């Protein structure tokens, strides 16, 4: 056996010591991290234990004398742990208990602290502060919250958007415009999530209509998509012409689908024809199916006729979607029953409606088809 | 020729080979393990932001939101009579505003359909299933619950394999988003809410997401729900827990952060339906169909110049039973590696091709050099060490030192992954489980690692020889067969 290791790899023993030391350190970190978290939880639990009954009483609206609220407001030992517990509880209650919890936060100076924390260097602190201020539902804080929609941290922007939504219509139209702007991606960072923005704009009600109308012309597909969904959901009639344009010509397929579905909600009889045109074979399958669903929402003879025409289409997904959409209205149900009984109807059309009719029967009667 | 004539020559060869490969092997070994450490760093960044984002986005509000996209869960099943009812019930009761389940019985020879029929009071309907994707099998019948309201469809078909069953499920699905789930897997109650968040957040660009797969062996399961994660009792599943943690949770989160995720597990993946139809669905001839389909999606969308995203979400958990015997594990690993090789070979044109962005320039080369070749190098390295020892050309203390450094670094990587897990998701709450995981991180390197390297090579070799791939049966103990299971 050779006596000496290759000289070129002689440093391995030092590497081994380094690796072993790091392994031990990591194992210790795992164990210590678990101990630290368990201790922290226990400490918070013990600090809040004397106040738990008061918290529950205020949260449940059972503090008629106001003594529990007063004790919570005056307590200084539980510090920020109590503030956080009140904020957590505030997310779960409405009405008088929520008002009482807000007054507890105000008396504990938590609002002033939160406003100061909006300028903190820590994104976690800024997010918590924004959340606290949002839960107060105080229109006087609108500007503070709207400003946070431009925060450098994505998480803070999300909280700010939700908080603006919590203010409701009192936040005003400019807040809606800021929310839509925040949907845009910033370099590699994603914007405010579409569903959060949609929820917020819906909460702002008619105040968001001008911003939504403008959003439909935005250069960012994500913004147009959010605006289209909100326009449909909130029944913003002024958006209908632009929605029709987007449904027919937007370069982004998802935006076309959202705009078409929105037209199904907000559209009028005059919109049936442009939607029916989207059933044409040259259109993308997803847009055609969205058009079928939209026509099902709109209803009316013209819409029903257009949907019946595609029951025999080569795109069988479209045919089945049309049959399902038809089943949503009495007029449509009559039409598909007529197709199923018509010996001259294309076999493919009859095939598309057969299963839908059976499902209708099952729902109506609760009895089996076979 | 006598051994005395051969041995000196062989010694010379081994000495030359060792001298030639010692540095390349060392560099390779440092690179592969350092890449894992980089992934851990990227995953840490991803998890922290994910957890904050989930906390701030309002999970409760999402459940009631009208803006979340409808989802269809596609569940291929083959001879799953033992647990299918519980599994479907569990899927139907997931928290999500609009989801339905399409189960595809792939010609089971047991009572899979019979038990479903009885449990859900199924009746046959003449529902037409569109042919958006070509399907080899013949559809025998379509069934729905008699009440007409439970969002469940069961399709019976002739046996044609998992991929074909999934393609049929895609055809039958009504949701814009499709979630593929294995029938024997258990999803966390909020798994659908969380794994679809990227689609709800960025609907115009997101095309696929994947959730994390963890080992369910040993955990407490009640009524189809995993209520307490626990470490398995058996050694092989224990090691797989830490292996999945490092490779699936951390590795994929790292790739996702880099924007070059090329693999979403077939046991729990979400895809936009229209994209799957565009690319032709799952390849029924591929043994690594989950890898292959995502590579095809990347190829298609990059060629069309579309702006799109594929993301891994570390939190929603799909719990699955991992192999507990060496025989089953061997088949699984051989199949995985064969699928890896066949897919990489099929898409070799993407390698270092700037047209495919980070996928072509980063992910594909990495998978070639560090996923495909790793078991070969590991095995050849071990062979050389053994030969060197036998032929007396290696210093024994030095050989031991080398192995300790090699496997010590591997243990370090696993411990780093465990540290990240402990600081983020912390699924295993018991101290006993933590201790078992620490031991498993060490045990993985003693025998298990070498065996799996050998099995992976077998899979690769079988493919090179053109051997026909047989899926075989994954023998399962069942999620009610171990401690704590009810």
pLDDT reading at A192 higher than 80:
yes
DSSP 8-state code for residue B69? P
Q: Are the Cβ atoms of A34 and B422 closer than 8 angstroms? A: yes
pLDDT in tens, chain B (486 residues): 676 777 788 888 888 888 888 778 778 888 888 888 899 889 888 888 777 776 666 666 666 677 888 999 999 999 989 889 988 998 999 999 889 999 999 999 999 999 999 999 999 999 999 999 999 999 999 999 998 889 999 999 999 999 999 999 999 998 889 999 998 889 999 899 889 888 888 888 999 999 888 999 999 988 778 899 999 999 999 999 999 988 888 888 899 999 999 999 888 999 999 999 999 999 999 989 999 999 999 999 999 999 999 999 887 689 988 999 999 999 999 999 999 999 999 999 999 999 999 999 999 999 999 999 999 988 888 888 888 888 888 878 877 887 888 888 889 989 988 988 888 888 898 999 999 999 999 999 888 999 999 999 999 999 999 877 655 555 555 565 443 333
Nearest alpha-carbon partner for B288 in B252, B340, B346, B210: B340
Distance between A102 CA and the closest CA of chain B, angstroms: 20
Instruction: Write the residue in B142, B203, B404 that is nearest to A194 by C-beta.
Output: B203
User: Can you name the residues that pair with B99 across neighbouring β-strands?
Assistant: B71
Domain ranges of chain A: 268-370
Q: Are the Cβ atoms of B395 and A2 closer than 8 angstroms? A: yes
Q: Are the Cβ atoms of B53 and A127 closer than 8 angstroms? A: no
Scanning A31-60 for CB atoms below 8 A from B yields 31, 33-34, 37
Contact call for residues A235 and A266 (beta carbons, < 8 A): yes
Chains A & B: contacts with CB separation below 8 Å: 190
Question: Which residues of chain A lie closer than 8 angstroms to B147, CB-CB?
Answer: 362-363, 366
Architecture of domain A268-370: Alpha Horseshoe (1.25)
pLDDT average, residue stretch A178-204: 87
How far, rounded to the nearest angstrom, does the alpha carbon of residue B339 sit from its chain's CA centroid? Answer: 12
Report ipTM (2 d.p.): 0.82
Contact call for residues A96 and A64 (beta carbons, < 8 A): no
Q: How confident is the model at residue A269 (pLDDT cuts 50, 70, 90)?
A: confident
pLDDT the model gives residue B201: 80
Instruction: Name the residue in chain A with its Cα closest to that of B396.
Output: A1
Q: Are the Cβ atoms of A367 and B146 closer than 8 angstroms? A: yes
| Residues 6+ positions from A31 with CB-CB distance below 8 Å | B434
**Contact status of A154 with chain B (Cβ, < 8 Å):** yes
Q: Which two tokens stand for residue B65?
A: 């939101």
Distance between B89 CA and the closest CA of chain A, angstroms: 20
pLDDT the model gives residue B202: 86
Question: Which residues of chain A lie closer than 8 angstroms to B131, CB-CB?
Answer: 316
Contact call for residues B472 and B315 (beta carbons, < 8 A): no
Distance CA A243, CA A234 (A): 13
Q: Other CB atoms closer than 10 Å to residue A208's CB: what's the count? A: 29
Q: How confident is the model at residue A370 (pLDDT cuts 50, 70, 90)?
A: very low
User: Can you name the residues that pair with B180 across neighbouring β-strands?
Assistant: B74, B269
Angle at A274 between CA A334 and CA B308, to 5 degrees: 105
pLDDT tens for each residue of A312-340: 999 999 999 999 999 988 899 999 999 98
Question: Which residues of chain B lie closer than 8 angstroms to A320, CB-CB?
Answer: 128, 130
Distance between A99 CA and the closest CA of chain B, angstroms: 21
DSSP string, A260-326: HHHHHHH--GGGHHHHHHTTSTTS-HHHHHHHHHHHHHH-SHHHHHHHHHGGG-S-HHHHHHHHHHH
Instruction: Name the residue in chain B with its Cα closest to that of A16.
Output: B405
Contact call for residues A285 and A253 (beta carbons, < 8 A): no
Contact call for residues B210 and B276 (beta carbons, < 8 A): no
Beta strand B139-145 pairing with B220-222: unpaired
Distance between B225 CA and the closest CA of chain A, angstroms: 26
Percentage of chain A beyond pLDDT 90 is: 65
Distance CA B289, CA B339 (A): 7
pLDDT the model gives residue B475: 54
pLDDT the model gives residue B118: 95
Contact call for residues A196 and A171 (beta carbons, < 8 A): no
Distance CA A317, CA A142 (A): 47
Distance between B371 CA and the closest CA of chain A, angstroms: 23
DSSP string, B241-300: HHHHIIIIIIHHHHHHHHT------TTEEEEEHHHHHHHTS--TT-SSHHHHHHHHHHHH
pLDDT tens for each residue of A21-80: 999 999 999 899 889 989 999 999 999 999 999 999 999 988 888 899 999 998 888 888
pLDDT average, residue stretch A105-130: 91
pLDDT reading at A202 higher than 50:
yes
Instruction: Write the residue in A222, A351, A358 that is nearest to B125 by C-beta.
Output: A358
Distance CA B155, CA B116 (A): 11
pLDDT the model gives residue B32: 86
How far, rounded to the nearest angstrom, does the alpha carbon of residue B236 sit from its chain's CA centroid? Answer: 17
């Amino acid at each position: 056996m050779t006596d000496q290791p290759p000289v070129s790899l002689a440093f391995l023993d030092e590497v081994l010591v380094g690796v072993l030391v790091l392994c031990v350190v990591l194992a210790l970190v795992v164990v210590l991290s678990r101990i630290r978290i368990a201790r922290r939880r226990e400490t918070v639990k013990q600090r809040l234990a004397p106040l738990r009954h008061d918290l529950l009483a205020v949260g449940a609206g059972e503090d008629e004398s106001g003594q529990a609220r007063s004790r919570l407001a005056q307590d200084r030992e539980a510090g920020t742990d109590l503030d956080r517990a009140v904020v957590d509880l505030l997310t779960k209650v409405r009405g008088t208990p929520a008002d009482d919890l807000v007054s507890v936060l105000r008396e504990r100076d938590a609002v002033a602290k939160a406003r100061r924390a909006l300028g903190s260097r820590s994104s976690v602190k800024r997010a918590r502060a924004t959340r606290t201020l949002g839960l107060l539902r105080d229109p006087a804080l609108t500007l503070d919250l709207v400003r946070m929609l431009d925060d450098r941290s994505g998480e803070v922007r999300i909280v700010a958007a939700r908080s603006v939504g919590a203010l409701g219509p009192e936040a005003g139209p400019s807040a809606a415009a800021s929310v839509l702007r925040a949907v845009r991606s910033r370099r590699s960072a994603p914007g405010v999530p579409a569903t959060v923005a949609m929820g917020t704009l819906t909460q702002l009600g008619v105040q968001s209509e001008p911003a939504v109308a403008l959003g439909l012309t935005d250069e960012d597909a994500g913004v147009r998509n959010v605006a289209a969904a909100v326009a449909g959901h909130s029944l913003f009639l002024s958006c209908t012409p632009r929605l029709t344009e987007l449904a027919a010509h937007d370069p982004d397929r998802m935006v076309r689908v959202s705009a078409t579905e929105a037209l199904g909600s907000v559209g009028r009889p005059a919109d049936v024809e442009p939607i029916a045109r989207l059933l044409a074979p040259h259109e993308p399958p997803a847009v055609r199916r969205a058009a079928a669903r939209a026509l099902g929402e709109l209803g009316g003879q013209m819409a029903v006729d257009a949907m019946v025409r595609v029951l025999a289409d080569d795109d069988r997904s479209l045919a089945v979607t049309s049959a399902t959409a038809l089943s949503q209205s009495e007029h449509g149900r009559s039409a598909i029953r007529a197709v199923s009984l018509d010996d001259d109807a294309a076999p493919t059309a009859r095939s598309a409606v057969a299963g839908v009719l059976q499902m209708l029967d099952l729902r109506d009667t609760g009895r089996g088809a076979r | 020729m006598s051994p005395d004539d051969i041995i000196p020559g062989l010694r010379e060869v081994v000495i030359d080979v060792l001298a030639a490969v010692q540095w390349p092997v060392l560099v390779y070994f440092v690179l592969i393990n350092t890449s894992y450490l980089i992934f851990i760093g990227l995953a840490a960044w991803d998890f922290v932001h994910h957890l904050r984002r989930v906390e701030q986005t309002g999970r409760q509000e999402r459940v009631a939101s009208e803006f979340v996209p409808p989802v269809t869960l596609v569940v291929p099943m083959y001879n799953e009579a033992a647990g299918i009812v519980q599994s479907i019930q569990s899927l139907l009761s997931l928290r999500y505003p609009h989801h339905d389940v399409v189960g595809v019985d792939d010609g089971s020879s047991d009572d899979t359909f019979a038990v479903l029929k009885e449990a859900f009071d199924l009746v046959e309907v003449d529902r037409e299933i569109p042919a958006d994707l070509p399907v080899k099998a013949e559809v025998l019948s379509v069934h729905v619950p008699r009440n007409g309201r439970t969002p469940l469809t069961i399709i019976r078909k002739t046996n044609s394999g998992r991929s074909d069953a999934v393609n049929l499920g895609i055809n039958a699905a009504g949701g814009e988003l499709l979630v593929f789930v294995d029938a024997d897997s258990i999803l966390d109650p909020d798994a659908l809410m969380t794994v679809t968040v990227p689609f709800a957040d960025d609907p115009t660009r997101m095309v696929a997401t994947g959730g994390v797969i963890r080992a369910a062996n040993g955990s407490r399961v009640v009524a189809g729900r995993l209520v307490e994660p626990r470490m398995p009792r058996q050694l092989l599943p224990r090691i797989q827990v830490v292996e999945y943690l490092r490779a699936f949770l951390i590795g994929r989160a790292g790739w996702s952060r880099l924007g070059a995720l090329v693999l979403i597990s077939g046991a729990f993946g979400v895809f936009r339906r229209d994209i799957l139809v565009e690319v032709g669905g799952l390849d029924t001839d591929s043994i690594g169909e989950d890898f292959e389909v995502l590579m095809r999606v990347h190829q298609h969308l990059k060629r069309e110049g579309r702006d799109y995203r594929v993301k891994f979400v570390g939190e929603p958990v799909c719990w699955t039973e991992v192999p507990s015997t060496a025989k089953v594990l061997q088949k699984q690993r051989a199949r995985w590696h064969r699928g890896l090789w066949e897919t990489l070979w099929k898409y070799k044109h993407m390698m270092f091709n700037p047209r495919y962005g980070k996928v072509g320039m980063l992910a594909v080369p990495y998978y070639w050099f560090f996923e495909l070749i790793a078991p070969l190098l590991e095995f050849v390295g071990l062979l050389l060490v053994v030969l060197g020892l036998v032929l007396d050309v290696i210093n024994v203390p030095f050989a031991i030192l080398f192995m300790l450094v090699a496997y010590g670094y591997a243990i370090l990587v696993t411990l780093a992954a465990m540290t990240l897990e402990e600081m983020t998701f912390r699924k295993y709450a018991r101290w006993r489980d933590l201790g078992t995981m620490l031991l498993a991180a060490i045990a993985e390197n003693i025998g298990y690692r070498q065996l799996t390297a050998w099995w992976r090579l077998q899979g690769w070799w079988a493919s090179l020889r053109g051997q026909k791939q047989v899926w075989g049966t994954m023998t399962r103990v069942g999620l009610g067969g171990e401690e704590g299971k009810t």
